[in-house]
Structure 1
């Protein structure tokens, strides 16, 4: 009964979201609430929802103050010289802009956090996209490709979870995967080139941006010492984030306050900054906490575990020799439907037991389980995806439809190169 209820709930969620009958915000709150009541969980519903909100609260606070920090720095002109250099390099050519977007995103992605990619890259490039009239869904798609791959670095969440669940060394597990990841990155650059060519044809060539940004930067105010302070503060913040000297959300709280006080000393100007950025920040924060309701109901009622068990029951026993590839394939939809924690700590140990009986090692299973990560980044349970969609002012469902096919291509490349390089087997004898 619970298994059927959970599958119907997920199907309804996908239908209402993709058909645009409900917004992401309302779907994340109303659909799990209705199905929790149908399942008879009204007595515990409040507890489940609060537990879910508590899980996403650190990410919610982090997003609020990280957005405030980077948006304030953008208004203060911190990224103007970077934008100028980019403008001089790309000269209004969509191909160069999209390739440059992916290149910068790849560098930032080394920290394993998608939110950082979106905020830094869009702070530099968003004025250029808007001035040229480039396709923002294409921009979002490219950033999500890089984020999905960057999330797989050893210090990223999925890789660490897979290694922990399978009790293997994360370094030994990750290094052989590098050729597959490099192939996926190469494809992402090709995709940027293809998108750029399409936009170049649509726009009729390149556009001269230099005059526009010269005038735009002339409007900026602030002295040289503030510019230096902003970069020193940002560099110190990044170091502190990497070293995790304090909780990440608190670091951004302090940094955002310092950025406001230094760059906009007058109280009236600080209030104006808050009013300016409040709509974008509220849009992201509300979606994150709405996702907490969805997560809380899914986990608290046991629906997430029911989905996991249901998927395991549909795998015939005779498929044991192919368990590595089966794991890779089911990781694509399953990590979109449920959290990484449910997949790696709930489903993977059971799959690994079956695989072990046929001679497939825990190391091979751990690598296979990461194939779905390029699609996982699109999951409604991934908070950072709401950030990039909100910053680009896109419709969440339309972005899902546009990006999914390209993320699926990355999954296929990851699977194909992994099989060719032998980091996990197609089947065992």
Structure 2
């Protein structure tokens, strides 16, 4: 019963947002509440929802101040020289921009943190996409693919969980899938090339001699409204003291280094950086207030979705629907297909990211599958390798169960349904390519 309610919750949610019946915010809150009541969780539903909100609160705080910080830096023109340089390097060619997006994403993703990857990459590349008129779904899609493949790294969340659940180290879980991961990286570059070529056919190569204004529309609300700027009357802030540029550049570099090194919790880093940047760039109280008001709608757009996602996962977890779905998933595998269990897990791992949180899968579903593999004479570690080829790796930037997904779509200014429809086939293709290589190299056999 609980498993059926859980799968129904996920299915109706996906249908609702992909057909645009309701907004993501409404779907994230009301659909799990309805099914939570059907599951008999009425008296405890409030606590479950609050527990879910508490768990995503740090991410919500981080994205609020991240939007404010990068919005400020875009307002004062910090990224204009970089965008101009990238335009010259790309020569206005969408193919080169798409490839640069993939390379930058995978380089930043080396730290293993999806939220940081999205914040840095999207903020850096979005003005360039706007300048060339490229589809923002291409940006969110390529970033999704690059971050997904790199999340297989042994310090990434899924692989860490797989190693912990199996009590194994990286040499037996991660190392055998390195050739598959390399194939996945090549696939991401191929997809970036194909998407870039599609944009080049649509837009052509930009004439860089035309005057350009990068704009400060890299914040969600302005993007969703198709706006081109921020601040009073939609105008960007005029640059003042040239020394401010170098101060802002140094502060941003220090912030990025702090993010990558984990010097402080991410929300604290952004709160401190934004407070300093606001004081230095806008010393007058009135100007500080105007800046905050100009980005208020952007902050509300993203942060409300993250807290709503906390309600969604809180209800699924608190009602035990996640656990029931895990048991049901394991029980439906026919005995005749048991010998193909690693391949089944690998192929299904990416779509299962839309159903299971990483903790639910790696600590609930995977151990049971690994035990079943062991009883069939297979090495249980093989199930771990199969799992990391898609479950919350290639699948996590599409899953409504991870808060970082909403950071990606919020900063890119796209809807979750559009993002999923656009990039799901390519992301699933990544898993299939890696699965084929893993099978060919023996990583999915004992």
Give secondary structure in 2 for the equivalent of 1:423. coil
Unaligned regions of 5+ residues in structure 2, if any?
Answer: 217-235
Matched residue, 1:254 = 272
Is the 2:105–2:143 Cα contact (8 Å) retained in structure 1? yes
Matched residue, 1:195 = 195
* Residues 1:382 and 2:402 aligned together: yes
1:101 and 1:378 map into 2 onto residues whose CA distance is 18
Equivalences for residues 7-406 of structure 1 within 5 A? 7-208=7-208, 211-213=211-213, 220-372=238-390, 373-406=393-426
RMSD (Å) for aligned C-alpha atoms:
2.2
Give the C-alpha shift of residue 332 in structure 1: 2.1
Matched residue, 2:430 = 410
Give the C-alpha shift of residue 227 in structure 1: 2.5
2:290 and 2:96 map into 1 onto residues whose CA distance is 35
Q: Taking structure 1 as reference, are residues 247 and 123 closer, same or farther at Cα in structure 2, changes over 3 Å only? A: closer
Deviations 1:11-41 (A, max 9, x none): 2212212221111111010001011112221
Deviations 1:255-287 (A, max 9, x none): 111111112222222112212222222111101
Give the C-alpha shift of residue 253 in structure 1: 1.1
Give the C-alpha shift of residue 342 in structure 1: 0.1
Give secondary structure in 1 for the equivalent of 2:413. coil
Deviations 1:47-106 (A, max 9, x none): 111111111111111111122222222222222221121011112111111111112222
Between 248-257 and 289-298, the greater mean CA deviation after superposition: 248-257
1:69 and 1:112 map into 2 onto residues whose CA distance is 22
Matched residue, 1:424 = 444
Give secondary structure in 1 for the equivalent of 2:263. coil
Give the C-alpha shift of residue 123 in structure 1: 2.6
Structure 1 stretches of 4+ moved >4 Å: 213-216
Between 127-136 and 23-32, the greater mean CA deviation after superposition: 127-136
Matched residue, 1:5 = 5
1:214 and 1:379 map into 2 onto residues whose CA distance is 31
1:368 and 1:386 map into 2 onto residues whose CA distance is 26
Deviations 1:146-174 (A, max 9, x none): 12112222222111111111111135532
Give secondary structure in 1 for the equivalent of 2:174. helix
Q: TM-score, normalised by structure 1?
A: 0.93
1:179 and 1:275 map into 2 onto residues whose CA distance is 49
Is the 2:3–2:328 Cα contact (8 Å) retained in structure 1? yes
Q: Taking structure 1 as reference, are residues 116 and 244 closer, same or farther at Cα in structure 2, changes over 3 Å only? A: closer
Is the 1:87–1:210 Cα contact (8 Å) retained in structure 2? no
2:89 and 2:350 map into 1 onto residues whose CA distance is 38
Matched length: 426
Deviations 1:190-228 (A, max 9, x none): 112111221211124333266315999x97413343223
Deviations 1:232-273 (A, max 9, x none): 323333333344333221121111111111122222221122
Give the C-alpha shift of residue 128 in structure 1: 2.4
Matched residue, 2:223 = none
Q: TM-score, normalised by structure 2?
A: 0.90
